[in-house]
Amino acid sequence: MTDFIEVTGLAKTFDHHQIFSDLNFSAKAGEIVAIIGPSGSGKSTLLRCLNLLETPDKGNVTINGEHFEADHLSKQKILAVRQQSTMVFQQFNLFRQKNAWENIAEGLITVKKIAKTVAKARALEELDRVGLTEYANFYPEQLSGGQKQRVAIARSLATDAKIILLDEPTSALDLELVGEVLTTLKQVIKDHPDYTMILVSHELGFVSQVANRVLFFDNGQIIESGSADQLLNHPQEARTKQFLSRFAQTTLAH
């Protein structure tokens, strides 16, 4: 299988604070790669660099056949790269003044220049897939956190991007709402076996069910990677072991 995402030598610094200096990894088409690791280690920054919500300082990235070099980015290139992936954010990032279907249709109308009636039909189709047909006219404040995230997932699917970047999609949710979002994501994975997903998540049970590969990320570096079973049940590196044991303790404490 061909690599669908290939990252070499990726570097990013914020105000003299180096987040990563030489990150290398790849994901094959159809692969679900989970990233776990402590807060502040650079996981969100990595995802944001892949779709150029952040501009990396250095590095080469190929994403769905679109290649870019961090120090040779034109506006046109940025737009082309952005079309290759779609992000599901921790905080949903829905427009408050738009209802569910309008939130999904917005990008189709403004970025993809799709006619409003066509965009609306597509939005309703995706809402149906995530089980929210009856909520099409509801505004974010009328929806639960789980419903908002399902709208955001529908919005990602409507873009037709084959690479979905998920940044802690359930960590802003009340515990009882996590399950519905994970169920929706499982369905999305089943419906789109050719999609490549990079999933940052602390839901280790879910990660072990869906991920083809798990990376442990700490301090801007991939410390260890392997199958979910290898990494979660038989970690080799001291830092991975330490993270997982601390994690088990906090999970049990809740």
Residue ranges that bind ligand ADP, judged by CB under 6 A: 14-15, 19, 39-45
The Cα–Cα gap between 153 and 45 comes to 20
- Tell me: does residue 41 bind Mg ion (CB under 5 A): no
Shortest approach of Mg ion to residue 43 CB, angstroms?
A: 5
Q: Which does 40 bind (CB under 5 to 8 A by kind): Mg ion, ligand ADP, none?
A: ligand ADP
Residue 218 pairs in a beta bridge with 221
- The residue range among 21-29, 36-44, 104-112, 215-223 that interacts with Mg ion, by the rule CB under 5 A, is 36-44
User: What three-state secondary structure class fits 26?
Assistant: strand
Q: Which does 122 bind (CB under 5 to 8 A by kind): Mg ion, ligand ADP, none?
A: none
Q: Which does 196 bind (CB under 5 to 8 A by kind): ligand ADP, Mg ion, none?
A: none
Indicate the helix (H) or strand (E) that contains 121. Answer: helix 116-129
Q: Which residues contact 115 (CB under 8 A, 6 or more apart)?
A: 109
Q: Which does 147 bind (CB under 5 to 8 A by kind): ligand ADP, Mg ion, none?
A: none
- Tell me: does residue 201 bind Mg ion (CB under 5 A): no
Nearer to ligand ADP, 61 or 100 (CB): 61
Shortest approach of ligand ADP to residue 45 CB, angstroms?
A: 3
In total, the chain counts a number of residues equal to 254
Give the pairing of strands 17-28 and 213-218: unpaired
Shortest approach of Mg ion to residue 143 CB, angstroms?
A: 23
Q: What is the CA radius of gyration of the chain?
A: 18
Nearer to ligand ADP, 44 or 201 (CB): 44
Q: Which does 194 bind (CB under 5 to 8 A by kind): Mg ion, ligand ADP, none?
A: none
Nearer to ligand ADP, 180 or 218 (CB): 218
**Contacts (CB under 5 A) with Mg ion, residues 42-81:** 44
Q: Which does 205 bind (CB under 5 to 8 A by kind): ligand ADP, Mg ion, none?
A: none
Q: Which residues contact 232 (CB under 8 A, 6 or more apart)?
A: 204, 207, 208, 214, 244
Shortest approach of ligand ADP to residue 91 CB, angstroms?
A: 12
The Cα–Cα gap between 41 and 19 comes to 7
The Cα–Cα gap between 32 and 48 comes to 17
> What residues line the site for Mg ion (CB under 5 A)?
44
